[in-house]
Copies of this chain bind each other. A is one copy, B any other.
Amino acid sequence: MNALSYALLCMLARRPCSGYELTKLLQLFWQAQHSQIYPLLAKLEKDKLVTFELVGQTGKPDKKIYSITDRGIAELKHWIQNQPPSMQLERDEFLIKVYAIGLIQPEAAEGLFRERSEALAARRSRLEGEIRLMEAEELPVTDFASKQFGRYLLYQRKLRLVSEELDWIEWALPLFRLSRVVPEPKA
């Protein structure tokens, strides 16, 4: 049982999903390819932590709708409460580039930051949309008892982090300009 297994279980604890759907939904907090997810679902099924139902579709490929079992729920609960907190991993090539930003021209550096800024702004819009959708639901998502509660918390967190990184970029950009203002001839 690795972390991805638990990520899949907690997705299915919210509602039954196909592997295809899980691959997309998981993007929020644990990016994984379908080639990793399909075999793992098969393994979880073999271990009786999930079950699946084959759903035939017309015009679309058939799909397997997976559900979590009672054993799966128990396993998940146990892990949440007993697994010690593990380090968080961040792998982001942009950060490598920032570290060496002094090697390139300030103009190029600015371009790099603006590119990042645009991607983040787009992401922020999508997050805000999702949050609005959740908040419009019948059972309030801010309620601990809501099945959406955990998901809502994660979206709020992501929105805050994305917004904060945008602020950081706005703070940093003027610093690149300063170095271009300097070369004023002293005569």
Contact = CB atoms under 8 A, between A and B. Distances in A.
Most chain B beta-carbon neighbours within 10 Å: one of A144, A151, A178 = A144
A142 to B, nearest CB: 6
Contacts of A176: 144
Number of copies: 2
Interface string A79-99: 011010111111111111111
Interface residues of A, number: 70
Interface of A: 3, 6-7, 9-11, 13-14, 29-31, 73, 76-77, 80-81, 83, 85-104, 106, 108-109, 112, 115-116, 119, 142-147, 149-151, 153-154, 156-157, 160-161, 163-165, 167-168, 171-172, 175-176, 178-179
